[in-house]
Amino acid sequence: MKRNIRMVLEYDGTRYNGWQRLGSDSGQNTIQGKLEDILCRMTGEGIQVIGSGRTDAGVHAYEQVANFHTNTDLTCDEIKHYFMAYLPKDIAVRSVDEVPERFHSRLSASAKTYLYRIARPDCPDVFQRKYTWQYPELLYPDRMQEASCFLVGIHDFKGFSSVKKTKKSTIREIYSIDILPLEREIQIRVRGNGFLYNMVRILTGTLVEAGAGLRSVSSVCDAFTSLDRKDAGMTAPPQGLFLAKVEYPPEVL
């Protein structure tokens, strides 16, 4: 039986076309493609790397979890050292371990937390300009936190996604949304059981519109009624978004 290997990664997504490898990945420059190319060289096997979430182009990860199956006899330490020798400097493997066959980085996850960073216009940090949304207007965090209360819970988030047509359920549960006003930026932390395509960026854009006074606090939930993308807010740019944490129940580890 093949071994099931789990990796915890972090990466700067600035120069990549997202996580997911499509087809041969020729010229696509994806995180998954980089990892699979190195694994092929390392093991001589054609290996698919499964990520806990398919981050979009330009989106980063503090903690991305991935797993793959292999026949290699290399130890987990040897696998990690091989990755670190051949990966570009904007992708790092933090840990490698062997997990039970039933572990699946995406399907086994019980919760994910995304972080979105918005620069304060009155005192932006020039060293973080590639990793924050340089929103030009003053935002009121209290309004954003009040608006976020309407978004927490079990809802149909179809109107908060860029999904056009799907036969899969668009119902998700948001466990919490925290608005953290810091000296030079405002952070939004969203924790839930799963997220649709562009969902976190659209939730962020909606909260920003409420925080800037461009929409009423209660209107953030209009898209729950209509399920129409036009009733939600703008799509926040990718560079401020980070996959921050992935959680798993103990029985799958």
Long-range interactions of 74-80: CB distance < 8 A, separation 24+: 74/42, 74/43, 76/5, 79/5, 79/42, 80/7
Catalytic site residues? 56
Q: What is the pLDDT of residue 8?
A: 98
User: Is the CATH number of domain 112-247 3.30.70.660?
Assistant: yes
| Per-chain mean pLDDT for the chain | 95
What span, in angstroms and rounded, lies between the C-alpha atoms of 64 and 243? 7
Q: What is the pLDDT of residue 88?
A: 96
**Contact criterion met (CB below 8 Å) for 73 and 110:** no
C-alpha angle with apex 12: 6 to 18, nearest 5 degrees?
75
What span, in angstroms and rounded, lies between the C-alpha atoms of 144 and 226? 22
CATH topology assigned to domain 3-107: Alpha-Beta Plaits (3.30.70)
Collect the ranges in the chain with pLDDT lower than 70.
23-27
Region(s) of the chain under CATH 3.30.70.580? 3-107
Region(s) of the chain under CATH 3.30.70.660? 112-247
**Contact criterion met (CB below 8 Å) for 70 and 43:** yes
Please tell me whether residue 142 adopts helix, strand or coil conformation. helix
φ/ψ region of 43 (left if φ > 0, alpha if ψ in -120 to 50, else beta) reads alpha
Report the b/e string of 172-183 with b at 16+ CB within 10 A.
bebeebebeeee
Question: Which residue type occupies 149?
Answer: C
**Contact criterion met (CB below 8 Å) for 241 and 114:** yes
